């Protein structure tokens, strides 16, 4: 049996470091692949970290409460007779609050230099000094705007961030009678603030909107929910199912811009935006194209609940091929959403509203729902987005097809 290195996993797109909340296994415990080793806190959620190798957890390098960069060695799984001396010697230290600076602690810490190398696409351009000061002052380099050449983060940027309100204690300073207060950014808000312009500015969005007659879907949903022992189906579940089927028929929408190619997906992993107190998270419901409406309903509910409890697993936080944002519960007529790169499109779903409908020569009451799709123009064109939306509309208007 081989020696398995346990490294800090990349649990979300933006993740660069993770904090070990607690180890669920201790040194000496026997591990099977898939066992939950530890709970890790990321910028988005607390997630469980699974073991990839089998053997004995021989060594834990990063104790609970400490932070390690993505990709850094945090433990070793091996059989008891396996020689792991080489790994023990090269083990990095955690980026913890610095110990009392004695001569020993001045040694170069490999950890700091691991950060950019190990994060691939999410590389942070920062000077070595900026990285060290950031590590020591607990500043997250991902949320800093660099002022050096090419946006490189330099010392003054980190110092400004360390002194700035973003990272101060969350007590908002408000003078009595003041007309405003500065509420410090939560970690999640800060990430959203940094990432959204990275979508809106470089991704050329276009929007296609359509009104869907939801009368039959509404009736179907009521009928299904009246059935004994059936899980409750939401309007959004119907939308997810409709999108999954339509995405398979329109792979051009289920696609991602990759610089020199367009990656077209043959599966529909759908991100479902969930509003939280401190921001927004988009857990991913995988393989929606292969799931029944009931399965989608059960799993989407579970995801949303665990998102609110910050109990999502790593695999549930990334890898969407398409996203849906539904503000229907807020009595929203229509809105448009910002694409979450590298996805190629996102569907914004409004409320199901009762509206007057012209039926022949009479005016009757009908249920209508606005759908707006935001598309990456680098990946697709208007007609492609429109045809997809048309198909989603057709599916929702003839909803029995969602059941088969």
Partner 1 sequence: MAAIRCAQLGLSVAAVEDDRPGGVCLNWGCIPTKALLRNAEVLHLVERAADFGISVGEVRADYAAAVKRSRGVADRMAKGVEFLFRKNKITLVPGRGMLETPTTVLVGAHTIEARAVILATGSEPKSLPGVAIDEQVVISSNGAVRQEHRPASLIVIGAGAVGVEFADVYRAYGTEVTILEALPRLVPIEDEEVSTQLARTFGRRGITIKTGVKVSAITRGGSGAVVETDAGRFEAEQVLMAVGRSAKVKDVGLEALGIAMERGFVRVSPRMETSVKGVYAIGDMAGAPLLAHKAMAEGVVAAEAIAGRDPRPVDYGNVPSCTYCRPQIASIGVSEAKARENGREITVGKFPFTASGKAVALGETEGFVKVVADTATGEILGVHILGPEATEIIHEFVVGRTLEATLEEMIHTIHAHPTLSEAAFEAMLAALGQAIHI
Residues designated as active site: 377
Helix H or strand E encompassing 113: helix 110-118
Of 108 and 360, nearer to partner 1 (C-beta) is 108
Residue 138 binds to partner 1 (criterion: CB under 8 A): no
CB 11 within 8 A of CB 47: yes
Residue 105, C-beta contacts closer than 8 angstroms, at least 6 positions apart: 98, 99
Residue 128 binds to partner 1 (criterion: CB under 8 A): yes
d(CA 162, CA 181): 20
Cβ atoms within 10 Å, residue 34: 9
Helix H or strand E encompassing 63: none
Which window, 107-115, 187-195, 287-295, 382-390, contacts partner 1 (CB under 8 A)? 107-115
CB 131 within 8 A of CB 148: no
Pairing label, strands 4-7, 322-326: unpaired
d(CA 213, CA 366): 7
CB of 109 to partner 1, least distance (A): 8
Residue 129 binds to partner 1 (criterion: CB under 8 A): yes
Of 136 and 336, nearer to partner 1 (C-beta) is 136
Residue 90 binds to partner 1 (criterion: CB under 8 A): no
Residue 160 binds to partner 1 (criterion: CB under 8 A): no
CB of 158 to partner 1, least distance (A): 10
Residue 115 binds to partner 1 (criterion: CB under 8 A): no
Residue 106 binds to partner 1 (criterion: CB under 8 A): yes
CB of 104 to partner 1, least distance (A): 9
Residue 26 binds to partner 1 (criterion: CB under 8 A): no
CB of 129 to partner 1, least distance (A): 4
d(CA 402, CA 383): 24
Of 103 and 360, nearer to partner 1 (C-beta) is 103
Residue 163 binds to partner 1 (criterion: CB under 8 A): no
Helix H or strand E encompassing 221: helix 215-226
CB of 5 to partner 1, least distance (A): 23
Alpha carbon 237 to chain centroid, angstroms = 19
Among 26, 90, 107, 358, indicate the residue that binds partner 1 (CB under 8 A).
Answer: 107
How many Cα atoms sit within 13 Å of 294 on the Cβ side? 8
Which window, 55-63, 129-137, 225-233, 239-247, contacts partner 1 (CB under 8 A)? 129-137
């Amino acid at each position: 049996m081989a020696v398995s290195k346990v490294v800090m996993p990349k649990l979300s797109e933006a993740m660069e470091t993770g904090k070990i909340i607690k180890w669920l296994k201790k040194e000496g415990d026997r591990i099977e692949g898939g066992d939950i080793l530890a709970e890790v806190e990321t910028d988005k959620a607390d997630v469980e970290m699974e073991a990839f190798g089998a053997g004995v957890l021989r060594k834990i390098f990063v104790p609970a409460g400490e932070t390690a960069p993505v990709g850094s060695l945090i433990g070793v799984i091996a059989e008891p007779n396996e020689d792991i001396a080489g790994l023990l010697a090269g083990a990095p230290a955690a980026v913890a609050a610095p110990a009392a600076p004695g001569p020993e602690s001045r040694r170069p810490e490999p950890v700091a230099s691991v950060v950019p190398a190990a994060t691939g696409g999410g590389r942070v351009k920062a000077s070595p000094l900026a990285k060290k000061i950031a590590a020591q002052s607990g500043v997250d380099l991902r949320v800093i705007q660099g002022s050096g050449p090419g946006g490189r983060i330099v010392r003054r940027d980190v110092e400004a961030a360390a002194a700035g309100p973003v990272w101060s204690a969350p007590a908002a300073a408000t003078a009595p009678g003041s007309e405003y207060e500065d509420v410090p950014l939560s970690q999640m808000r800060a990430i959203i603030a940094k990432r959204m312009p990275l979508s809106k500015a470089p991704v050329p969005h276009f929007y296609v909107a359509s009104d869907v007659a939801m009368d039959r879907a509404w009736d179907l949903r009521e009928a299904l929910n009246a059935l004994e022992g059936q899980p409750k189906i939401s309007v959004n579940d119907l939308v997810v199912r409709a999108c999954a089927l339509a995405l398979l028929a329109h792979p051009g929408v289920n696609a991602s811009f990759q610089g020199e190619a367009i990656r077209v997906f043959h599966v529909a992993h759908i991100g479902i935006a969930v509003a939280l107190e401190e921001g927004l998270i988009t857990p991913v419901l995988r393989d929606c194209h292969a799931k029944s409406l009931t399965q989608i309903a059960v799993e989407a509910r579970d995801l949303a609940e665990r998102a609110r409890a910050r109990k999502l697993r790593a695999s549930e936080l990334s890898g969407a091929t398409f996203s849906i944002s539904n503000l229907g519960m807020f009595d929203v007529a229509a809105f448009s959403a910002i694409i979450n790169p590298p996805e190629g499109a996102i569907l914004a779903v409004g409320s199901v509203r009762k509206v007057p409908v012209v039926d022949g020569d009479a005016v009757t009451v009908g249920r209508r729902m606005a759908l707006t799709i935001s598309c990456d123009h680098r990946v697709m064109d208007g007609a492609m987005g429109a045809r997809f939306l048309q198909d989603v509309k057709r599916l929702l208007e003839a909803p029995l097809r969602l059941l088969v």
